Chains A and B, each alone.
Chain A
Amino acid sequence: MSSVTQIAPTPVAPAVTRPRSRKRLRKAGWNVLGLVVLAVMVFPVYWMVSTAFKPGHDILSYTPQWIPTHPVLSNFTDAIHQQFFWNAVKNSLIVTTVVVVLSLVLAFLAALALAKFSFYGRKPFIVVILGVQMVPLAALIIPLYILMSRVHQVDKLSGVIVMYLTFVLPFAVWTLRGFLLGVPKELEESAMVDGATRFGAFVRILLPLLGPGLVATSIFAFIQAWNEFIIAYVFLHTPEKQTLMVWLASFTTLRGTDWGPLMAGATMCSLPVIVFFVLVQRKIAFGLTAGAVKG
């Protein structure tokens, strides 16, 4: 496109042309690969959204309908009027909000301790935090169920919240610790010499610089808590107490799956995650500490 604007032919040494065109070819190859990966990732989302707008016969037709020719909203109204929808929305919001807030507070304090103080057993603690993330969830679910039932936390939102925190916290602590280590220690030292208390230096200097880390962590916590299915499915029996992801599963019954409303429900369930991400992503401005020290 831009080559059209060229006014005079640029003299190019013949020896240079070949490597340059090869370079361009390689670049094009990578771009095509990138587009393929993008398509693979976006297609399921597109299929979910488009199916949500298709009438029943279009969904089940043997020749796939790529674009809904007669879009309908009935799937959405069906989904909303499905039993326990508003209960599920409320439960999901409670669980997610509590998990995000608690994980941020706890992870910030824990990361602070790990990054800024030296204490006995710090190294093993860091290794354990990394290690627990390697354990597969499926291996833990039965022992955890037994454990939670002993403390009467099965079929309760509080039980699910505690469970989610155990999975979110290690990652959050690890991430925030990394961000904290990136803040030069001279900044808080300088604040302390300037008249701040240790805690004051944390709040006035470290916390604002940790913005991107807190945003990254909160996005992770939000996605984990909002999208989680297995734990919620196993721990929450009563329909009134179920979260949205479990509620979605109720479209699959013994008589088959009601695809239209299911996809409409799934589309609606994805919206909060997208909205949350759009709201906070601007805060992920890396390099916020630029200019603090010579670099």
Chain B
Amino acid sequence: MAEIEFVHVSKSYGDTPAVRDLNLKVGEGEFVVLVGPSGCGKTTALRMVAGLEEITEGEIRIGDRVVNELAPRDRDIAMVFQNYALYPHKTVYENLAFGLRMRKVPKDEQRRRVEEIARKLGLADMLNRRPSQLSGGQRQRVAMGRAIVREPKAFLMDEPLSNLDAKLRVQMRAEIARIQKALEVTTLYVTHDQVEAMTMGDRVAVMRDGILQQVDTPQRLYDLPANLFVASFVGSPPMNLFEADVESDGAQLVFGDTRLDLGARSLRDYKGRRVVVGIRPEEVREASGWDGAHVGGRVLLVEALGAEQLVHIEIAATPLERADLVDAAAQPPGPSLGVEELERSVTLLGRFDRHLLLTPGEAVEVAIDPRLLHFFDLETGAALPTADVPAVAGVAG
């Protein structure tokens, strides 16, 4: 067991930076998930820990050792690859035992440990098969087993679930989290799937363009995103975002025909300026019986999910123009063609109770409660401190 620490780590390929000044500490026994869209540098960061990628600048420590110059084999870590990387010419037993053999563990000890792991992972009767004779889920288990059997100081996992089908992924997600908790091995896990990140990690580190955006517990990341990118990346469906003006007294927010009293959330430092407003889909509510400003809108689309429904509601407001500040996958949908009377409109996604009967085209009122809103700077995308919530620490830990 050991800590993993990035100290001002940078990596560039020629002139192209992949990771910029990364500072991150994975505590002993902690499960930290590195998450971000593809090309954000998360895999590069992981591979630097494994020793498969050279470090351009900075230091990586495993335990109390600086490992920058250490060969992968001397780092005492185990890695699970996205494509499993099982040795195709070796049986499951040989695959599991390979690391032990390389470390000159005595034969009978090898056998004991491999058989124990195989039993735990339900691979006991497939030890003589080759990887090609296994199903995707079984291969995934062998890859996990190969990492566990070594009893390394830390696990590194590079999108180990992305090749599984949706059901199996949910199942293995829980299994990996359970194994990690049981073994208490320091784990750095890379994924592009924010659901995976949120469900598995003790802490989640969000990266974008090689830069660490925020590190925190999943819940705090969701409740207090440090900037627009994190706000739009974390959460599914993503946070609704639109632009609004702060009145000159800082106590009111204006968008479309709506004037919203901010109350305790007044934006004193942004008097008379335009800001970005965010609201999570579950906080968009059908107006009756709820506090906050009631905003008139129109139902565009109703998606029934069984337990609940996702309702697309068009309201009058200015859409967010700065697409560069948000996650590309969470771009707000363009203005609809159907609603001419609303000059500038924004589609809000609402997570509604399934018993609420709404049909497309229907007029609807939604309640927007200022206490549930998120505010961001239009220029930098940083979360704005309000009277009741002080500045959010972006990169802590």
Contacts and interface: CB of A to CB of B under 8 A. Distances in A.
Contacts of B71: 192, 197
A193 B52 contact: yes
B78 A193 contact: yes
Interface string B33-71: 000000000000000001110000000000000000001
A194 B87 CA distance: 12
Contact of A289 (B84, B88, B98): B88
A294 B163 contact: yes
Nearest to B158: A186
Contacts of B131: 291-292
Given A192-B73, A195-B99, A208-B89, A291 B139 contact: yes
Contact of A194 (B51, B88, B89, B99): B99
Contact of B98 (A191, A208, A294): A191
A193 B88 contact: no
A38 interface: no
A205 B102 CA distance: 13
Contact of B77 (A184, A193, A196, A208): A193
Interface in B72-125: 72-73, 75, 77-79, 81-89, 98-99, 102-103
A189 interface: yes
A292 B142 CA distance: 11
A193 B51 CA distance: 8
Contacts of A208: 89
Contact of B130 (A193, A197, A291): A291
B132 A290 contact: yes
B79 A292 contact: no
Interface residues of A, number: 23
B83 A293 contact: yes
A84 to B, nearest CB: 46
Nearest to A187: B85
Contacts of B88: 187, 209, 288-292
Contacts of A195: 73, 99, 102-103
B73 A197 contact: yes
A190 to B, nearest CB: 4
A95 B36 CA distance: 59
A154 B52 CA distance: 49
Contacts of B73: 192-197
B359 interface: no
Given A288-B89, A293-B84, A194 B150 contact: yes
16 contacts: A186-B83, A187-B87, A189-B50, A193-B75, A194-B73, A196-B73, A200-B102, A208-B89, A209-B89, A289-B88, A290-B88, A290-B132, A291-B130, A291-B131, A292-B84, A293-B83
Given A289-B88, A290-B132, 15 more contacts: A186-B81, A187-B88, A189-B79, A192-B72, A193-B77, A193-B79, A194-B98, A205-B87, A288-B88, A288-B89, A291-B88, A291-B139, A292-B84, A292-B87, A292-B88
Interface of B: 50-52, 71-73, 75, 77-79, 81-89, 98-99, 102-103, 130-134, 136, 139, 146, 150, 163
Interface of A: 184, 186-187, 189-197, 200, 205, 208-209, 288-294
